[in-house]
Amino acid sequence: MQDNYDVTVIGGGILGCAIAYFLSIVTESSIIVIEQEKNVGLHTSSRNTGKVHAPLYYNPDKKSSTAFYALKGFDMLKRYCNLHKLPFKEDGVIEVAINERQIDTLHKHVQWAHKNGLKNEDVKFLNKDEILQIEPNVKCQAAIVCFRDASTDYSLINQKLMEDAIRFGCKTSFQNKFRSVYCNTNTGANRKMTIIGTVKDITTDYIINATGGNSLDIAHNLGLAREYTDLHFRGEYWMAPQKYSNLTKRSIYSAPRYTEYPFLDPHWIIRSDGRCEVGPNAVPVFGPYSYNLYDNLKNAVPKIFESANLGILKLVLNRQFLRLVSDEFLSSVFKTNMINRVRKFLPCLNPSDFKQRGRAGIRSLLVDKNGNFVSESLLVEDESSLHILNYNSPGATGALPVAIDIVKELVQKNMVYGNVSRKINFPFKDEFE
Ligand SMILES: Cc1cc2nc3c(=O)[nH]c(=O)nc-3n(C[C@H](O)[C@H](O)[C@H](O)COP(=O)(O)OP(=O)(O)OC[C@H]3O[C@@H](n4cnc5c(N)ncnc54)[C@H](O)[C@@H]3O)c2cc1C
């Protein structure tokens, strides 16, 4: 069976579905989303912390675009959630310093927050006594409270974006895993390609690769981004029992121990439905879907061979990185180790009360030839494909504005049959002006 589409979006996570949503609304192109699973959003987009992150932790000199999209994402998600009656709880977040050194980090974060566009009233610095007044169970040296931070359920948003895209004509092909692609005609911009999938093949003019943890492999398959490799980190959670439901009013994040690895510190999380969890840590695993031991070992051999890559070798020989990684392993194997990291600021937690693991999610981070993590997401393209690589936290927060910018750019470059003048009454009309 073979189908023809102008644009094929590979990957039905929140980003692929947001791109498909905008493409279906503002263009006349025929669009299909191909997804390897039975449904959309079964991987990172439903296996995260569910926070609509304010741009507090992102260094404006290194992560300006991440911060920009997080700032814009808040308003857009709020509008979208209100429209569809999805959870969007403006509950705010607290970041705590547990020692003197981390107080400097908090001051730095307040500066970053303002440089990244947050207003004075959005972020407040609190001393030890002030924090005790609003969160009596939190023990710390100082804290910042950010009021412009929210909790949501990204899997519901992901699902709704897909439904909306389908309403506007987008087609889907589920359980159809991208395997490879070949070019039918090789004449520059008019190139026709056939995507070989596990269920059916699709002929297309343009490919958008939004496959999260698999996106680098697919880019490599098309001969792109060869200078990068990736490492995968499983973020694990422990669910807190009911008795801790009213422990704090807000989620509590600790100032990162190492600002260059901010994903390493577990937090106290209150989800949009009120459930509380501790997590995530960041345990190195061999693949983007290594949720359990079996899947992890399956990916071990290819990843070990790939790790002969110079960038990864440099990274694993880095002593600080090795120490951090061994800490993360301990927190994966020993529950007490993980809960104790959060007990530093919530001392009343008792590790033996935590009986059930939450749903783990996997981050896939790009590493360059020099063994450095790439700090922001990366768009790599050729004349007939676009690959979104390294799309990590706060990727769910930024998915709507990132998708709009990608679609606008494709319209401008005539890669899709744009008809932006087709002004349908949809919530993001102004963003296309
Ligand atoms: C532990 C953790 C916590 C996080 N917390 C937050 C948070 O609180 N707030 C926030 O904003 N962000 C958070 N993030 C980041 C955010 O979840 C991701 O940036 C975002 O979900 C990525 O979306 P995506 O669509 O790019 O990827 P995904 O959701 O992974 O979607 C990619 C899709 O592509 C499909 N696919 C892959 N390969 C193929 C193939 N060969 N053929 C067909 N389909 C394929 C997959 O099945 C999947 O459905 C967190 C991430 C992690 C890991």
CA separation for the pair 257, 98 (Å, rounded): 10
Residue at 99 is within a domain: no
Taking the CA atoms of residue 130, residue 132, residue 133 and residue 134 in that order, the dihedral angle to the nearest 10 degrees is 100
Range of the domain at 284: 229-373
Q: Output the CA 310–ligand 1 centroid distance in Å.
A: 27
Q: Output the CA 217–ligand 1 centroid distance in Å.
A: 15
Quick one: 311 and 412 in the same domain? no
The two tokens of residue 426 are 């949809």
CA separation for the pair 289, 361 (Å, rounded): 8
Beta-strand relationship, 361-367 and 229-235: antiparallel
Quick one: 346 and 287 in the same domain? yes
Quick one: 341 and 242 in the same domain? yes
DSSP 249-311: SSEEEEPPSSTT-GGG--EEEE-TTS-EEEE---EEESSTT--SHHHHHHTHHHHHHHTTSHH
- Ligand 1 within 6 A of CB of 193: no
Neighbours of 274 (CB within 10 A): 11
The two tokens of residue 418 are 């744009």
Q: Report which ligand 1 atom has the smallest distance to the Cα of 218.
A: 41
pTM of the predicted protein model = 0.95
Secondary structure (3-state) at 373: strand
- Ligand 1 within 6 A of CB of 210: yes
The two tokens of residue 158 are 């992901």
Of the three residues 352, 373, 394, the one that is the final residue of a domain is 373
Residue at 401 is within a domain: yes
168, exposed or middle or buried, with CB in 10 Å at 0-12, 13-18, 19+? middle
pLDDT recorded at residue 107: 96
CATH code assigned at 392: 3.50.50.60
Of the three residues 351, 373, 395, the one that is the final residue of a domain is 373
Backbone angles phi, psi at 91, to 5 degrees: -95, -10
Q: Which residues pair with 27 in a beta bridge?
A: 418
| Residue the block writes with tokens 């030839």 | 369
Quick one: 238 and 318 in the same domain? yes
Residue at 136 is within a domain: no
If phi > 0 it is left, if psi is from -120 to 50 it is alpha, else beta; for residue 430 that is alpha
DSSP state of 161: H
Quick one: 240 and 362 in the same domain? yes
Per-10-residue mean pLDDT, the chain, length 433: 86 98 92 98 98 94 96 97 97 95 95 97 96 96 97 98 96 97 71 90 96 97 94 95 96 85 83 96 92 78 66 71 78 88 96 96 93 93 96 97 96 79 70 77
pLDDT recorded at residue 366: 94
Residue at 101 is within a domain: no
- Ligand 1 within 6 A of CB of 363: yes
DSSP 382-418: ETTEEEEES--SSHHHHHHHHHHHHHHHHHHTTSS-B
Handedness of CA 74, 79, 81, 87 (dihedral sign): positive
* Residue to substitute in 211, 220, 252, 275 for testing ligand 1 pocket (most ligand atoms within 8 angstroms of CB): 211
Residue at 121 is within a domain: no
- Ligand 1 within 6 A of CB of 173: no
CA separation for the pair 254, 279 (Å, rounded): 11
pLDDT recorded at residue 263: 66
Backbone angles phi, psi at 28, to 5 degrees: -100, 0
Quick one: 249 and 313 in the same domain? yes
pLDDT recorded at residue 104: 94
- Ligand 1 within 6 A of CB of 285: no
pLDDT recorded at residue 292: 86
CATH code assigned at 238: 3.30.9
Atom 27 of ligand 1, residue of closest alpha carbon: 212
Specify the length of the chain in residues: 433
CA separation for the pair 215, 210 (Å, rounded): 6
- Determine the longest span between alpha carbons in the chain, in angstroms: 69
Query: Does the N-terminal peptide bond of residue 401 adopt cis geometry, omega within 30 degrees of 0?
Result: no
The structural domain count of the chain equals 2
CA separation for the pair 72, 55 (Å, rounded): 10
* Integer-rounded Cα radius of gyration of the chain: 22
The two tokens of residue 211 are 């496959």
Quick one: 364 and 418 in the same domain? no
Quick one: 319 and 410 in the same domain? no
- Ligand 1 within 6 A of CB of 48: yes
The two tokens of residue 374 are 């790439």
Residue at 107 is within a domain: no
Q: Output the CA 17–ligand 1 centroid distance in Å.
A: 11
Quick one: 213 and 242 in the same domain? no
CA separation for the pair 31, 205 (Å, rounded): 10
Of the three residues 349, 373, 397, the one that is the final residue of a domain is 373
Asked whether 176 and 200 are in contact (CB, 8 A), the reply is: yes
The two tokens of residue 174 are 């589920």
pLDDT recorded at residue 32: 98
pLDDT recorded at residue 257: 79
The two tokens of residue 332 are 């994966």
Q: Output the CA 118–ligand 1 centroid distance in Å.
A: 26
CA separation for the pair 94, 136 (Å, rounded): 13
Quick one: 223 and 164 in the same domain? yes
- Ligand 1 within 6 A of CB of 177: yes
Quick one: 366 and 398 in the same domain? no
Quick one: 223 and 236 in the same domain? no
- Ligand 1 within 6 A of CB of 389: no
- Ligand 1 within 6 A of CB of 311: no
Residue at 134 is within a domain: no
Residue at 70 is within a domain: no
Neighbours of 430 (CB within 10 A): 6
